[in-house]
Amino acid sequence: MRCHILLMLCCLSAGVAAQDATYHWKDERGISHYSDRPPPQSVEDPETRRFAAPSADKLPPYLVRKVAADFPVTVYVADTCGQPCEDGRALLSARGIPFSQVRVATPDEVTALRSRFNGSGIVPAILVGRAAFSGFSAERWTQLLDDAGYPKDQRGLSR
C-alpha cells in the first residue's frame, strides 16, 4: 500500500515540475544562462518562460491531424480579395480544417503564385497536398478536401 502512495506522489510531483518556469538571463560578461531556478537578484529583466502541454480540447481530432499531416491545406489570399477569401476561410473553419494562409502582395509573390497554379494569379487559391485550385468555388474546394480524406464535419470524431 505504501508503495502505491509513494508512486502516486512521485507522479504528481513530476507533473508539477513539468509546469515550472524556465529562466533566461545574461550575466555581466554577456553570457547567456538558462535555468529552472530564478536568476540572482542583481540580474535585470530576466526572461521567464512557462511551458505546458496543449489542451486536448484545442487539438483537432485525430483523423483531421492525420489527414492534415499527409495533405496540408494552404490558402493564398490578398488584401484586395474581399468576400471570396472570407468565404474560403469560413468554409475551412466550418469543417474544422487546420490551414495556413499566405498573403500575396508583392509582384514576386504574384509570380510565385502563378508558377504554382499553372499561370493563374487568381486569389483565393487553395493547395490541398499537391492538388491546387485558383479562385473560390465552394463545390470545388469541398471536392478537394473530400478527396484528401478530410471529414465533412467533426461530429462524433474522437480527439
Q: Domain residues for 143? A: 62-148
Q: Mark 79-110 as b/e (b = at least 16 C-beta within 10 Å).
A: eebeeebebbbebbeebebebeebebeeeeee
Within this chain, do residues 48 and 120 fall inside the same structural domain, yes or no?
Answer: no
- Domain at 130, CATH number: 3.40.30.10
Within this chain, do residues 132 and 69 fall inside the same structural domain, yes or no?
Answer: yes
Has residue 159 been placed in a domain?
no
Has residue 155 been placed in a domain?
no
The domain tally of the chain equals 2
Has residue 94 been placed in a domain?
yes
Supply the DSSP string of 75-138, one letter for each residue. EEE-TT--HHHHHHHHHHHHHT---EEEE--SHHHHHHHHHHTTT---SSEEEETTEEEES--H
- CA dist., res. 54 & res. 72, Å (int): 20
Stated pTM of the model: 0.61
Has residue 87 been placed in a domain?
yes
pLDDT (tens digit per residue) in 4-60: 555 565 555 555 445 567 887 788 887 878 788 888 888 777 777 766 665 555 667
